[in-house]
């Protein structure tokens, strides 16, 4: 059995049988930034562009393109990255998406992980990564107000939605735009695996 500590220090583990074990986390965790180019795929059926490339992550409402600024639905972000052997061996790797609005799920090298509905948007990717040709796919879903606001600027026959919520159709509706998308920063948190002496169930962890 192993333990991971994301802060340096001494930890006392108390097991269900009353036994105690102290471990020391001496090395600070490392961070691997996944910056640079991202491929973004939107659904044209909801007004978004099929594909764009961006060198930085930002909220959809900060884009000049109306198809992104007023987009509501699912968008997929993809990126390839490499790791070094020392980044993987004896480590637990946590993918941290940073700021996400509103929910996200990821696929790493074809392996689908659970959906996250709230922060922290973190995923244990230790079992799925390799040194070369890692492929990350992030599906992000936002809420409906942005598309409703965008539709309020269009003639009826060109709108994607219908609503009786008048505030989203008003001239000042822009103030209701919601931050959306993968805003980041996206990084991988790497922490050492520390072997534990005992193998019974862990009750709690104290940091001192």
Q: What is the pLDDT of residue 204?
A: 41
**Beta-carbon contacts of residue 55 (< 8 Å; ≥ 6 apart):** 36, 37, 38
- What are the residue boundaries of the structural domains of the chain, listed by start? 29-143+178-192
29-143+178-192 classified as CATH 3.50.50.60: no
Q: What is the pLDDT of residue 30?
A: 80
Residue 121, judged by CB atoms within 10 A of its CB (0-12, 13-18, 19+), counts as buried
Q: What is the pLDDT of residue 14?
A: 73
- Report the chain's terminal Cα–Cα distance, integer Å: 22
| Helices marked H in the chain | 66-69, 85-88, 145-151
Sign of CA dihedral 194, 84, 78, 189: positive
pLDDT in tens, 42-73: 999 999 999 999 999 999 999 999 999 999 99
Q: How far apart are CA 177 and CA 165, in angstroms?
A: 14
pLDDT means per 10 residues in the chain (208 residues)?
62 70 65 94 96 96 97 98 90 95 97 96 96 97 97 94 90 96 96 66 43
CA-nearest of 163, 185, 179, 157 to 69 is 179
pTM reported for the whole predicted model? 0.86
**What DSSP line would sit under 133-193, residue for residue?**
-EEEEEEEE--SHHHHHHHTTS-GGG-S-----GGGTSTTGGGG----EEEE--EEEEEE-
């Amino acid at each position: 059995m192993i333990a991971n500590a994301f802060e340096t220090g001494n930890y006392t583990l108390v097991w269900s049988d009353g036994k105690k074990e102290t471990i020391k986390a001496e090395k600070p965790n490392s961070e691997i930034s996944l910056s640079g180019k991202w491929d973004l795929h939107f659904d044209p059926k909801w007004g978004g562009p099929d594909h764009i490339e961006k060198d930085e992550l930002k909220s959809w409402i900060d884009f000049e393109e109306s198809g992104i600024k007023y987009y509501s639905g699912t968008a997929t972000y993809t990126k390839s990255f490499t790791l070094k052997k020392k980044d993987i061996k004896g480590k637990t790797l946590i993918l941290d998406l940073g700021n996400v609005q509103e929910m996200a799920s990821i696929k790493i090298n074809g392996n689908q992980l659970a959906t996250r509905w709230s922060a922290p948007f973190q995923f244990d990717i230790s079992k799925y990564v390799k040194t070369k040709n890692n492929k990350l796919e992030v599906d992000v879903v936002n809420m409906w107000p942005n598309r409703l606001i965008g539709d309020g600027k269009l003639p009826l026959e060109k709108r994607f939605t219908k609503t009786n919520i008048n505030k989203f159709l008003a001239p000042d509706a822009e103030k209701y735009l919601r931050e959306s998308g993968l805003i980041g920063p996206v990084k991988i948190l790497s922490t050492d695996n520390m072997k534990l002496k005992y193998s019974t169930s862990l009750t709690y962890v104290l940091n001192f």
